[in-house]
Structure 1
Amino acid sequence: MKLVTRAQWGARDYRRPNGATLYSGKRRGVKLHYLGTAYSDRPHAQCAAYVRQLQAQHMDGNGWSDIGYSFVVCTHGYVYEGRGLSRRNSANGSTGLNDQDYAVCLLVGSSGMTKPTDAQLHGARDAIEYCREEGPAGTWLGGHRDGYATACPGDAVYAWVKAGAPRPNTSKEDDMPLSDADMKKLADLVADRVWKKDGLTVRWGTKENPDWAAYSILHHATEVVRDNRVRLQKVQADIGALSGVVSRLAEGGGLTAAEIQAAAEAGAQAALAKLGEQLTDTTPQG
């Protein structure tokens, strides 16, 4: 969660004793709010000033002891600490409603910018989870209009709330497979940034294909691994067969123990030498 503390956004000190009133018990859940006035989006550098303006409106215009909300979420996904987790909010409509649920306000309006951004929805979801985990708040979730006669938090935010406040799906592009052209660009980038930079020995090109580049080498390496797996399996089978022959010879007594051992060692060395030759043959030649 991108939390902006009161000190960080430059909050005024709250009035006492009312601004210091604590919740009387655990909160049932979280209520979502909007501004209810026109709002225009702004660069993030100006969001803290707007939250200070909102606090001034609540304290000097409404006569409240502090900004009314528990938390405020800007369109860039930052969560501004209002009255926070411990002090009772004054935004839900009555003392009982304020004591019952946290109040989280999204900086969207009844006109102008009326729909929250994806970043803002992520921030609001962060605030909800923060209230539940640290508050503590129960799992109930609603809008200001639930239990109070108001249009708040607006139709767009309320529809999101009634859907369970899901995080926006921002992974659609990530699920798209890379094209062959993209794969080749990625392979060339790896070669330039890793292989060449670190001085790794890579044979660029073969007699058959002198234009080999990083993608070709990576593709070839995949085929080599597959071929070597087959060769290793064949060597294991040969060694197993050799062991069986040795066992039968030992049982029949046709050879001495020393002769059997020598034959086994020679067979194993021949198999390993053959494997080494096969592995060498897979290396691209310059």
Structure 2
Amino acid sequence: MNRLKNNWFTESCEMWPGGTFSFEVKEVLHSEKSDYQDIDVYETTSFGRVLVLDGIIQCTQKDEFSYQEMISFLPLCCHKNPEKVLIVGGGDGGVAREVAKHPKVKQIVQVEIDAKVIEVSKKYLPFMAVGFDSPKLTLHVGDGFDFMKNHSQEFDVIITDSSDPIGPAVSLFQENYFALMKSALKPGGIVCSQAGTIWNDIELVSSTLRYCRNQFSSAAYGYTSVPTYPSGQIGFVIGSLDKDVKFDTPQLVFTREDEKAMNLRYYNSDVHKAAFVLPTFVKYQLV
């Protein structure tokens, strides 16, 4: 499907009616329809390479690290010893890249349903797909639901890097999905899922957090800044089987030398704490 007009790509979606986001395209690097979705990769004038799925921007080379680092390190640093981690989705490799950096992580299992996203990312988004090269990683192509049904009480942390709740990703925002993740966690385990933004759909944020709270002893919503997403922000729900967990207090604090060694460009312990400080209108709606 050609979404370009005069070398400009414009993103529009029913989730943010009345608003669009556009960028200038230098070159179409790839365009195809997989068994699950339309996959496009563009070389742009201002944002580097951009991955678009079903017409929705997934990541841009300019700011992807904010999303990848925060969805990974928020849950990892809330857990005392996150040795075994499951990633559901994340076919571009960015989350795997970040999870592999954590010094306590020993084993990463990733389940991505669309092999074409992995293939395309390895070819055109190597700065993210480098995550697939980690010796810690075991990659499965398949359905995350089916995988977790066969892996009970196995993981310390489960990270769901999904697209927005339109089409095949809708099921990842329902309560039965949080119940399934709960069954796949070890005692004290933590989950983290992409959960939308307060600016475009606070009802989605509220319902996703409610589903998480219904299944986990503790739950919270945190967010990060991603300028090329429609509202400039994206959020995550985090749930823990430990009722005493303090999400805004990282269990492991990195030094400046650690941050440099791991090439962290967004995440640090202060940003971690601030991620859970909510605006007034959100704070009281999500109680």
- The TM-score bracket by the shorter chain reads under 0.3
- Report the TM-score, using the length of structure 1 for normalisation: 0.26
The structure with more helix, counted as a fraction of residues = 1
Q: Larger relative CO (CA 8 A, sep 6+): 1 or 2?
A: 1
- Report the TM-score, using the length of structure 2 for normalisation: 0.26
The structure with more strand, counted as a fraction of residues = 2
Larger Rg belongs to: 1
